[in-house]
Amino acid sequence: MTTRRCPRCQTTYAAPARFCVKDGSPLVEIAPESSETTTARRRALSLPPAHTPEELDHYGTLTGKILDHRYQVERRLGEGGMSYVYRASEVDTGRAVAVKILLPRLSRDPAAVERLRREATIATRFSHANVCPILRLGETADRMLYLVMPYLEGEPLSEHETRRGPYPLAEGIPLLVQVCHGLQHAHELQVIHRDLKPENVMLVPDPGVTEPGGFRAVVMDFGLAKERRAGPEVAKLTATGIVLGTPEFMSPEQIRGKPLDGRSDVYALGILAFELFTGQLPFTGKSAQDTMIARLKGSPLSLRELRGDLPAKLETVILRTLTLDPAGRYQSMAELAFAFESVLSTGVFTRLFRR
């Protein structure tokens, strides 16, 4: 598969993406890395050792096999820093599911495994159209950990943004409100996402959605991120193979390793909203470390300087989500949803919806 990279922020994308969703730069194609280059790059970034080739072969080639006597694995959907994701069907019922195979480094941390079990148990209680529940956390005889979720036929918001660019207000606001509703449901069950970003929001075509676009926004991957004290090594973003949060979307208190509550997700959703409408992040820097420091010391870019057609009311809402002190933000996702909805009640948006 052709890989392309943004020459400014170094974010990589798969073809056919042509522009960076963070800064709008045209992407350039990059040659596949050799194993030696990959190893050197990982060392330079101070990342933990990768899993062994034998583990990758085992975890990455499950297509056609039956997992744990329960799931017929059909095809691989994707992979990330801590998992492979497969489409599968339940052997007993034939129901389509998504199975996330967690890579071995996660199972080597007993505390992380216990925490994952606890949060997965809570996530089985999710019952909301805008949240993807965890159906099961399983472990095979050879200690392979896996999560089972409903299979959603859709596309991540990140890919949608990459293909079409910044959203019009009439489509973007309803999606944000849906995300708010899903996160409010999770927060009421004491589950904080901690890694909210466009890659973790699935857009599912739904004839029951009457808003422009016709997509149902479903928040994915609850409980898989973990906060950590950043300290002097703020650029080191992973430990023991667990995703700790995405630097561009982490709240100031998450960067500092402070205790988190739902207001941290409010902050992350503010960054997501800013990017949704402008194609850029509100805080910039030459590296992940720079962008995090900017959120601790700097001010966000002006929304309306990037897109003059956006109303001042929207900028006010997003600025409040990005307040450094959690006490200054919206105190719940329900409150933030109401604020986003109030943007649509202005005259300019009433005219947009009448067209």
Residue matched to tokens 């050197």: 40
- Burial of 70: CB neighbours in 10 Å, binned 0-12, 13-18, 19+: middle
Which one is catalytic: 92, 195, 206, 221? 195
The vertex-12 CA angle with 215 and 197, nearest 5°, equals: 40
Rounded to 5 degrees, φ, ψ at 82 are: -135, 5
How far is it between the farthest Cα atoms of the chain?
61
62: Cβ–Cβ under 8 A, 6 or more apart, which residues?
A: 73, 76, 84, 86, 101
Q: Please say if 195 is a catalytic residue.
A: yes
Check residue 207 and report its DSSP letter. Answer: T
Tell me the C-alpha distance between 204 and 216, whole Å.
5
Distances (CA, A) of 245 to 121, 224, 238, 348: 21, 9, 8, 37
* Catalytic sites, residue numbers: 195
